[in-house]
């Protein structure tokens, strides 16, 4: 697990270095105290403004529930830091491993998940399964600009990727002897970096391989500096598009499963946590993703589904208001009436009278979601 401090620049708000270090140590102590509920936990400072949390799982009776327990702890860490300091943190959770030698892989997954705060916002828990397929490569990139390029590709930010590419190309041109062979080798290295980053972000391997192979051939035939720059920019743009397409498809598939679950279980007392668990996402991430894909939040969608069924039952059956409320997931028929009036503008009884009750007895297939 990685706990990264959100928006913690070199001197936030003009803070002295001593004050800055005090805040960082304060976060460290909060993390240690909160994580102590997990037997054998260890919290240590990591790179830049992050902390690493090692969470042993041998003592857990239910190893299958590690993910949910880790997400629950992550939410508590976020809450405590937000409550006790002026800072917030993003918690990235890696997949559990069995052998000590695999810890670096879990860390890479957690760190990659935490990076997605730049895309979805901080102060939340992000599990590796929510956002990434492969962990980041442990092979370091050669310069900060290359690291930033790789991150922009993983996040699907084309403008940022192009901007960092321009910086890299400027370094190559002005700091090295510009020979065609040297330049082409450097550009091929960039394509390799971009390809690896796209794969780490979950892009389709077959599509990425096709882009890389065609890119290698085209770049080898470039005849001018402008030609080479234009081609590598084009290829990186295509790779970013593939990352975005893969993420959108993955997100759409997850929300489609969630919507199906809601339609099949609207009559039960289901919560956002229940649906998030069904699609194996953390509740916080699922909530943001659902609104992003569906255009409305979870509770509004669930309410709309329930009321569509309720309206059909009001118009086509003789069931009482209480019976209809129970059938669409409301235990309290009075609360159902309040929700119905707020959305439809009428109480259920007036709606039934106003809209007419003809054709009672049963149109079970006319629900509209």
Instruction: Tell me the C-alpha distance between 323 and 292, whole Å.
Output: 34
Q: What is the mean pLDDT of residues 68-74?
A: 89
Instruction: Tell me the C-alpha distance between 213 and 126, whole Å.
Output: 34
| CATH number, domain containing residue 77 | 3.30.70.270
Examine the domain organization and report whether 34 and 125 are in the same domain. yes
Q: What are the start-end ranges of the E strands in the chain? A: 2-5, 42-45, 50-54, 89-93, 125-127
pLDDT the model gives residue 16:
65
96 vs 158 pLDDT, higher one: 158
Examine the domain organization and report whether 35 and 119 are in the same domain. yes
pLDDT in tens, 19-29: 778 888 889 99
Examine the domain organization and report whether 215 and 309 are in the same domain. no
- Structural domain contains residue 43: yes
Q: Report residue 89: phi and psi, to 5°.
A: -130, 155
| CATH number, domain containing residue 306 | 1.10.10.60
Examine the domain organization and report whether 158 and 224 are in the same domain. yes
- Structural domain contains residue 116: yes
Q: What is the mean pLDDT of residues 106-112?
A: 84
- Structural domain contains residue 83: yes
Q: What is the mean pLDDT of residues 287-304?
A: 93
Examine the domain organization and report whether 150 and 266 are in the same domain. no
- Structural domain contains residue 311: yes
- Structural domain contains residue 235: yes
- Averaged pLDDT of the chain: 83
Which of 30-44, 77-91, 109-123, 131-145 shows the lowest mean pLDDT across its residues?
131-145
Residues paired with residue 126 on neighbouring β-strands, in sequence order: 92
Long-range contacts of the stretch 174-182 (C-beta < 8 A, 24+): 178/225
- Containing domain of residue 30, as a range? 2-131
Instruction: Tell me the C-alpha distance between 146 and 141, whole Å.
Output: 6
pLDDT value at 271 more than 90:
yes
Number of domains in the chain: 4
Which of 90-104, 170-184, 254-268 shows the lowest mean pLDDT across its residues?
170-184
Q: Report residue 60: phi and psi, to 5°.
A: -75, 130
Query: What are the distances in angstroms from CA 335 to CA 272, 299, 308, 310?
Result: 19, 15, 16, 14
pLDDT value at 139 more than 50:
no
What would the two tokens of residue 157 be? Answer: 């930010």
Which of 9-18, 42-51, 110-119 shows the lowest mean pLDDT across its residues?
9-18
pLDDT value at 54 more than 70:
yes
Examine the domain organization and report whether 254 and 234 are in the same domain. no
Which of 115-129, 212-226, 229-243 shows the lowest mean pLDDT across its residues?
212-226
Examine the domain organization and report whether 117 and 54 are in the same domain. yes
Examine the domain organization and report whether 11 and 114 are in the same domain. yes
pLDDT band at residue 145 using 50, 70 and 90 as cut-offs? confident
Residues 239-274 as b or e (16 or more Cβ within 10 Å = b): bbbbbbebbeeebeebbeebbebbeebbeeebebee
Examine the domain organization and report whether 263 and 290 are in the same domain. yes
Which of 124-128, 136-140, 205-209, 329-333 shows the lowest mean pLDDT across its residues?
136-140
287 vs 220 pLDDT, higher one: 287
Query: Does pTM surpass 0.85?
Result: no
């Amino acid at each position: 697990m990685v706990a990264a401090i959100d928006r913690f620049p070199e001197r936030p708000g003009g803070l002295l270095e001593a004050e800055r270090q005090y805040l960082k140590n304060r976060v460290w102590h909060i993390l240690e105290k909160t994580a102590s509920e997990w037997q054998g936990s260890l919290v240590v400072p990591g790179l830049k403004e992050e902390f690493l949390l090692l969470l042993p799982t041998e003592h857990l009776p239910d190893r299958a529930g590690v993910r949910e327990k880790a997400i629950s702890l992550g939410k508590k860490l976020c809450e405590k830091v937000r409550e006790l300091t002026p800072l917030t943190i993003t918690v990235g959770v890696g997949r559990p491993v069995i052998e000590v030698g695999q810890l670096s892989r879990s860390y890479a997954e957690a760190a990659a998940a935490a990076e997605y705060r730049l895309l979805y916002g901080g102060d939340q828990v992000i599990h590796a399964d929510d956002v990434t397929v492969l962990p980041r490569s442990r092979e370091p990139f050669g310069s900060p600009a290359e690291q930033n390029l790789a991150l922009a590709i993983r996040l699907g930010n084309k403008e940022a990727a192009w901007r960092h590419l321009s910086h890299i190309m400027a370094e190559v041109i002005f700091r090295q002897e510009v020979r065609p062979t040297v330049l082409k080798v450097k550009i091929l290295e960039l394509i390799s970096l971009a390809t690896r980053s796209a794969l780490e972000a979950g892009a389709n391997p077959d599509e990425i391989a096709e882009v890389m192979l065609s890119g290698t051939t085209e770049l080898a035939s470039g005849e001018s500096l402008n030609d080479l720059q234009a081609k590598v920019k084009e290829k990186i743009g295509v790779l970013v598009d593939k990352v975005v397409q893969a993420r959108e498809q993955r997100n759409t598939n997850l929300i489609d499963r969630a919507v199906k679950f809601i339609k099949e279980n609207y009559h039960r007392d289901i919560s956002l946590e229940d649906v998030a668990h069904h699609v194996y996402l953390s509740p916080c991430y699922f909530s943001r993703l659902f609104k992003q894909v569906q255009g409305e939040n979870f509770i509004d969608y669930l309410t709309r589904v329930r009321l569509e069924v309720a309206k059909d039952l009001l118009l086509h059956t003789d069931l009482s208001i209480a019976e209809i409320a129970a059938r669409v997931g409301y235990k309290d028929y009075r609360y159902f009436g309040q929700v119905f009036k707020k959305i439809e503008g009428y109480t259920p009884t007036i709606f039934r009278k106003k809209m007419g009750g003809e054709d009672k007895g049963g149109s079970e297939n006319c629900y509209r979601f």
